[in-house]
Amino acid sequence: MAGNTEPLSPRSKLAVTAGKAAAAVSRAAGKGSGSVIGGKVALRLDPDLLARLAGHLDVVLVSATNGKTTTTRLIAEALRASGPVVSNALGANMPAGITSALAGGSEARYGVIEVDEKYLAAVARDVTPKAIALLNLSRDQLDRAAETRMLAERWREGLSGNKALIVANADDPLVVWAASSSPNVLWVAAGQEWKDDAWSCPSCGGVLQRPGEDWLCAECGFRRPVPGWALSGEHVLDPHGAAWPIRLQLPGRANRANATTAAAVAAAFGVHPQTALERMWEVTAVAGRYDTVQFGGRDLRLLLAKNPAGWLETFSLIDPPPTPVVLSVNARGADGTDTSWLWDVDYTRLTGHPLYVIGDRKLDLAVRLEVADQSFRVCEHIDEAVAAAPPGRIEVIANYTAFQDLRRRVGN
Amino acid sequence: MNDDSLRLVWVYPDLLSTYGDQGNALVVERRARQRGYDVTRVDVRSDQPVPASADIYLIGGGEDRPQRLAAERLRRDGGLNRAAANGAIIFSVCAGYQILGHEFINDLDRQEPGLGLLDVTSGRGQAGRCVGDVLADIDPQLGLPQLTGFENHQGVTHLGPTAKPLARVRFGHGNGTGDGTEGAWNGNVFGTYMHGPVLARNPQIADLLIRLALESAGLAPVDDRWYEALRNERIAAASAAH
C-alpha cells in the first residue's frame, strides 16, 4: 500500500524549511524540541501541508483518553517490520506537532500518529488515514475539556463515512458509539477497568446493564459488538482463534490491551501477529513513563496517571504491599485545575502500602487518603519521601505536570 | 431514625457523578462512623426507586443530557419528593441543585421542570463558564465557617422568596446572578454550585447534615488536621487569585 511519491510543491517545501528553522531557533532558545512552534510556522505558510505530507504515507491515527502515546509506539514498532515509519513519538499530538513530525519523515512508508481526542475528527479528515485506532474515552481535565459523551459524539460525527479501517475497543461503550457509524470497523476486546463514564447508554440514555464482561442497553438494544480480536490474559486472540503470547517490557493490563489493539492494526497492514508482538518487546519507557531510575540510592519506578481511569489501571500494576508508593498531584493548566477527580479514585486499593504524598495539591490528597482511612505521610518533595520510604523499589505515581517535575528532579 | 444509625442515599451516581461527587458521600459516611454511628449508604441508580425513608440524600453534578434524564426519572419516581415531605435532609450540587428547583434549561435548550423542592429557577448564563476557586461567607444563621469550593458551571440560578442564599461570595461567581449569592437553602434542603468536593473542603457542612439527621446539637470532635490545612491553603489561593 505504499502511496505515491509525488514531490511536495515549492510552497510546501518552503513551509517545511521555515518550520524546521523556527524549530531550530526554539531549540537554541532552550524552549523544548521546537516541534510545535515549527509545525505552527509551517502550517501558517501552507495550511494544506499536513494533508500533503501525509499524501505519500499509509497513515494510522491513534486516539484515546489513555494509552495513545504507548499504543502509537507499539504500532510504529510493529509496522517497522514492513517498512520505514514516521511517528510523533514524543507525544506532540495536535496538528502543529503532527505536521512537524511528518515533515521529518520524507523516506517513510507509514505514518503512525497519535492525535489529541479533540482534534481527531479534523486530522482524520486532513490526512486520509488507512486505519484509526480508538482505545477508550473517560473523564479528563473537566474544567477545560469537552464533556466525555460530547467527545464521543464528535468522534462519531467526524468518522461517519470515513473509509479508514476503524480498530475500536468493544469494551468501552463510548468508543463503540463513536465507531459504530463508520462502514469499516474491526472490534477489539481490549477491556476497560474504569466504567463510571458509561453507565448510561450513549445512544438513548437508558441505564446500561453489565452482566459479566458484556454490556447492553435493555431499552434500545445498543450493545457490545462481537469482537474479532481479544486480549485474554497474557495472550492476544486473533479472529481465527489463535492465541499469540504477549511479551512486553511495559507493565500492566492496560499495556497488554494496547498491544492487542496494536497487533490488530499491524495485521491489517499484513504484519503477522507473532512478528508484531515480538517487535513490541523493544518498546521500553515512553517519554519516561514506566522508567525505573536511581535516585537517592533507591530504585524509583515512574508511573504517569492523569485521570481516574489511569489511576485505576496503575493501581493494578504496582508491586504488592509493602512496596512503598509515592503519590504526586498538581493542578496546573495542563492537569486541569479541578482536583475533584481524586474522589473518583478508589484509594482503598492502596491499603498496606506505605504512602507518601507530594505535589502542589498534596493537601487534597491528604484529605482524600484520610477519608479512605489510609495511613500516609505528607512530604515537601520527592527527596523527603524517598528518604522516609522503607527498603525496596518505590512506585511513584504522578499526574501530568507532577510527572514532569519529577523527571526533572530525578534526572530522567 | 434509630438512635445510632444513619441512612444515607446517594442519588443517581450513574448520571450525576461527574465531579468527584462520590466524595460528598464518603465524607458524610466517614465522619458519622468516626462518631460511632452505624451508617448504611445506598447508591441508587436511575433505574431503581429512590427510597423515601432515609435520613440524608446527596445528589451531585453531571453533564447536560444526564441532568435532563435524571430530572425526568426523579419526577417519574417521586421518591425524593416523598423523602422531602418526610423531612429528610437533601444536599445537592450543581446539576443536582438545579434539578431541585422549579425548572432549568436542558441540553435541548428547553425548560425542564425540576422537583420544586427549592424555590429557585435556573437558566444558562450568557457569559462564559464560571471556573475556579470560590470563597464565600455562609448564611450566619447556619453558624458555619467560610465556604471554600471549586466552581465549574454555566448556570445562573435565581432565588425565589422562600429560598435563602446559602452563602455570599467574596471571590467567584456562585449563583451567577451578579448579586453575590451562592447556593440556596430552606429548612433541610440545600443547594450549591461548589465542587471540590464541597464537603471535603467544608467538613463542617457534612457535620451539619449529620446533626440535622440526628436532631443533635453537637457532635464529638474528630481529627480535622488535614481538612483544616486544605481549607487554609484553598482560602489563601482563592484570595491570591483575585
How close A32 comes to chain B (CA, Å)? 29
The residues of A whose Cβ lies within 8 A of any Cβ of B are: 139, 142-144, 147-150, 196, 199-200, 205-207, 337-344, 363-364, 366-368, 370-373
First vs last C-alpha separation in chain A: 39
> Which residue among B102, B130, B195, B242 is the active-site one?
B195
Burial of A267 (0-12, 13-18, 19+ CB in 10 A): buried
3-state class (DSSP) for residue A366: helix
Per-residue confidence (pLDDT) for residue A1, from 0 to 100:
40
Question: Which chain A residues are Cβ-neighbours of B26 within 8 angstroms?
Answer: 343, 371-372
3-state class (DSSP) for residue B34: helix
Looking at residue A52, its amino acid is R
Question: Which chain A residues are Cβ-neighbours of B14 within 8 angstroms?
Answer: 199-200, 207
Question: Which chain B residues are Cβ-neighbours of A145 within 8 angstroms?
Answer: none
- When scoring A343, A355, A376 by the number of chain B Cβ atoms within 10 A, the one with the most, hence best to mutate, is A343
Q: Grid coordinates in use for A173?
A: 461503550
Per-residue confidence (pLDDT) for residue A7, from 0 to 100:
65
Report CB contact under 8 Å: B150, A340. Answer: yes
Among partner residues B14, B200, B223, which is closest to A199 by beta-carbon distance? B14
- For residue A201, say whether it is annotated as part of any ligand binding site: yes
Q: Is B130 part of the annotated catalytic residue set?
A: no
- When scoring B12, B17, B18 by the number of chain A Cβ atoms within 10 A, the one with the most, hence best to mutate, is B18
Which fold, A10-280?
Answer: UDP-N-acetylmuramoyl-L-alanine:D-glutamate ligase (3.40.1190)
Per residue in A48-73, pLDDT tens?
888 888 888 999 999 999 999 999 99
Contacts 24+ apart (CB under 8 A), A377-386: A381/A409, A382/A295, A382/A326, A382/A328, A382/A358, A382/A406, A382/A409, A382/A410, A383/A296, A383/A409, A384/A358, A385/A326, A385/A356, A385/A357, A385/A358, A386/A295, A386/A296, A386/A298, A386/A300, A386/A326
Q: How far is CA A114 from CA A209, A221, B64, in A?
A: 32, 33, 29
**Taking a C-beta distance cutoff of 8 angstroms, is the pair B90, B60 a contact?**
no
Work out whether the CA dihedral A350, A353, A359, A363 comes out positive or negative.
positive
Question: Which chain A residues are Cβ-neighbours of B30 within 8 angstroms?
Answer: 371, 373
Answer whether 0.80 is exceeded by the pTM. Answer: yes
How close A61 comes to chain B (CA, Å)? 28
- Any idea of the CA torsion for A185, A189, A193, A198, to the nearest 10 degrees? 40
What are residue A385's phi and psi, to 5 degrees? -65, -45
Per-residue confidence (pLDDT) for residue A343, from 0 to 100:
96
Question: From B203, which residue of chain A is nearest by alpha-carbon distance?
Answer: A367
Per-residue confidence (pLDDT) for residue B33, from 0 to 100:
97
Q: Tell me: ipTM over 0.90.
A: yes
Per-residue confidence (pLDDT) for residue A28, from 0 to 100:
61
Per-residue confidence (pLDDT) for residue B1, from 0 to 100:
47
Q: Are domains A10-280 and A292-407 of this chain identical in fold? A: no
Q: Which residue in the block uniquely carries the three cell numbers 521500553? A: A284
Question: From A364, which residue of chain B is nearest by alpha-carbon distance?
Answer: B230
Q: In angstroms, rounded to a whole number, what is the distance separating the alpha carbons of residues B61 and A142?
A: 12
> Which residue among B94, B102, B153, B158 is the active-site one?
B94
Per residue in A261-276, pLDDT tens?
999 999 999 999 999 9
User: What is the C-alpha R_g of chain A?
Assistant: 21
- Averaged pLDDT for residues A237-243: 97
* All structural domains of chain B: 5-241 (3.40.50.880)
Per residue in A4-24, pLDDT tens?
445 678 777 777 777 777 777
3-state class (DSSP) for residue B109: coil
Q: Grid coordinates in use for B232?
A: 487554609
Q: Which of A49-63, A220-234, A250-264 has the lowest mean pLDDT?
A: A49-63
- Selection from A342, A398, A385, A391 nearest residue A365 by Cα: A342
Q: In angstroms, rounded to a whole number, what is the distance separating the alpha carbons of residues B76 and B169?
A: 35
Question: From B19, which residue of chain A is nearest by alpha-carbon distance?
Answer: A340
The residues of B whose Cβ lies within 8 A of any Cβ of A are: 13-15, 17-23, 26-27, 30, 45-47, 63-66, 69, 131-132, 150, 152, 195-197, 200, 223, 226-227, 229-230, 233
Largest CA distance in chain A: 65
CATH code given to domain A292-407: 3.90.190
Question: Which chain B residues are Cβ-neighbours of A344 within 8 angstroms?
Answer: 17, 20, 22
Percent above pLDDT 90 for chain A: 72
Low-confidence ranges of chain B (pLDDT < 70): 1-3
What are residue A254's phi and psi, to 5 degrees? -60, -35
Per-residue confidence (pLDDT) for residue B160, from 0 to 100:
98
Residue A3 confidence (pLDDT) above 50: no
Report CB contact under 8 Å: B233, A363. Answer: yes
User: What does pLDDT average to over chain A?
Assistant: 91
Work out whether the CA dihedral B234, B235, B240, B242 comes out positive or negative.
positive
Q: How far is CA B160 from CA A359, B59, B125, B170, in A?
A: 43, 21, 18, 22
Report CB contact under 8 Å: A371, B200. Answer: yes
Q: What is the DSSP letter of A225?
A: P
Q: Which residue in the block uniquely carries the three cell numbers 504526586? A: A328
Report CB contact under 8 Å: A143, B45. Answer: no
- Any idea of the CA torsion for A8, A13, A15, A19, to the nearest 10 degrees? 120
Per residue in A285-337, pLDDT tens?
787 889 999 999 999 999 999 999 999 999 999 999 999 999 999 999 889 89
Per residue in A89-113, pLDDT tens?
777 888 888 888 888 877 899 999 9
Q: Grid coordinates in use for A383?
A: 527527596
Question: Which chain B residues are Cβ-neighbours of A364 within 8 angstroms?
Answer: 200, 230
Q: Is A338 part of the annotated catalytic residue set?
A: yes
Contacts 24+ apart (CB under 8 A), A66-69: A66/A135, A66/A136, A66/A138, A66/A254, A66/A306, A66/A307, A66/A309, A66/A310, A66/A313, A67/A135, A67/A136, A67/A254, A67/A255, A67/A257, A67/A258, A68/A93, A68/A114, A68/A115, A68/A135, A69/A93, A69/A114, A69/A286, A69/A287, A69/A289
Q: How far is CA A229 from the centre of its chain?
A: 20
Strands A243-245 and A235-237: antiparallel
How close B143 comes to chain A (CA, Å)? 23
**Taking a C-beta distance cutoff of 8 angstroms, is the pair B214, B61 a contact?**
no
Q: Write down the domain spans for chain A.
A: 10-280, 292-407
